[in-house]
Copies of this chain bind each other. A is one copy, B any other.
């Protein structure tokens, strides 16, 4: 099997680069044709790899690519989930090479989606091809590759609800997370949830001259800043009433266990060029970004942002704000609490609109399941080290949905690194990681089939 992989390495890479050339940005309607072309690309590659019943399942949004290989109804069935859409690539000017013209440099593939999630998703297609060609497939497999993950998987829930029979299986297998390092493999055993809102603050009904009106009317940008600033207290705790009500508090033992993962604050600060870290009092960095809920402004805009100076009081100011949630918080609860609070703190001199975007629920995946143990053995086999279970700060909202709708746990076999700059300019994915994924995934199938007997 490893022979097959090494013999086909160049093709495995060039196919991925072909897919990365298609700008499948789901958030921006102007890339619609490209997103659809990417779905078609994945469909064709699944057919070529040997999958049956491959189809584009239409949804209200972008289609879900489905394909399967049922070799024996008595064997366990692995459902592979991934996504072919990518984050927007702007600001373009910060990329060292254009985001949709992939290049391999210093052992890394640079492109939007190289890691998240085209690269990681495609490892599964190539691992499947390898098992088919080398006659080593030990489980049934069903692919479900969506095109709306980066905009909240809006239509996946409906698809899953309406296709429970088709999606019968034993475990969901996902590579859309990272690991601690190439010599410290890890498996994600928990994910934060997400509430995402857009807010609009309106002051005067039109832009005003700041000389003639400055000081006399509420400036919506100043007010928005005040409202945003008030969402954290001096300990960097979030001030929304009831925000922490349901937060799962970890025991001292659990926190001590977490603290054993290798982490260097100096290296962390150096890598990001930070004078200091910043976060909730009473928690260390690795807790702040995993077991604690957060509130971040993801975008803000208003007034004159061009070159030079314009003395204007804007009529409106906007922000996109997201909150990461931890177990026992729910997206609906937190979005509601945010909305109520944000409206309540607006002064009479402005009007406020809160528009909820998609949300997602936090999850903790069991580390004592057969699937987790099979994944652990797979990494151990290819990396030579037993992987560490970690809680990630990211969100894959559909993991909770798979559990509630299909009753299935997910196993999160990520091969990316924190430094891959996903969602950032110069996103990349190690060729080492891509190939290691293609090697490790078949090991999972092998151990999962054996341990399921």
Contacts and interface: CB of A to CB of B under 8 A. Distances in A.
A300 B218 contact: no
A77 to B, nearest CB: 29
Interface stretch (A47-55, A199-207, A244-252, A442-450): A199-207
28 contacts: A27-B306, A27-B308, A28-B308, A87-B312, A150-B310, A204-B272, A211-B324, A211-B393, A214-B393, A215-B280, A216-B288, A217-B274, A218-B277, A219-B296, A222-B228, A228-B229, A229-B229, A298-B309, A298-B311, A299-B304, A299-B310, A299-B314, A300-B300, A300-B302, A300-B305, A301-B301, A301-B305, A312-B424
Given A88-B308, A226-B228, 5 more contacts: A150-B310, A211-B393, A215-B294, A218-B274, A300-B300
Interface in A218-275: 218-219, 221-226, 228-230, 232, 272-275
A278 B392 CA distance: 44
Contact of A349 (B215, B221, B276, B304): B276
Contacts of A385: none
Interface in A299-357: 299-314, 317-320, 322, 324, 347-351, 357
Interface in A408-453: 418, 421-426
B196 A309 contact: yes
A358 B310 CA distance: 11
Interface residues of A, number: 104
Contact of A308 (B151, B178, B285, B292): B151
A295 to B, nearest CB: 8
Contacts of A91: 207
A367 interface: no
B313 A273 contact: no
A349 B278 CA distance: 6
Interface string A116-144: 00000000000000000000000000000
A212 interface: yes
A382 to B, nearest CB: 24
A194 interface: yes
A206 B209 CA distance: 35
* Minimum-distance CB pairs A-B, first 9: A211-B394, A27-B308, A215-B294, A299-B303, A218-B278, A229-B229, A278-B349, A205-B273, A216-B289
A288 B223 CA distance: 17
A311 B194 contact: yes
Given A274-B203, A311-B194, A298 B289 contact: no
A90 interface: yes
Nearest to A302: B300
Given A206-B425, A276-B348, A305-B301, A229 B232 contact: no
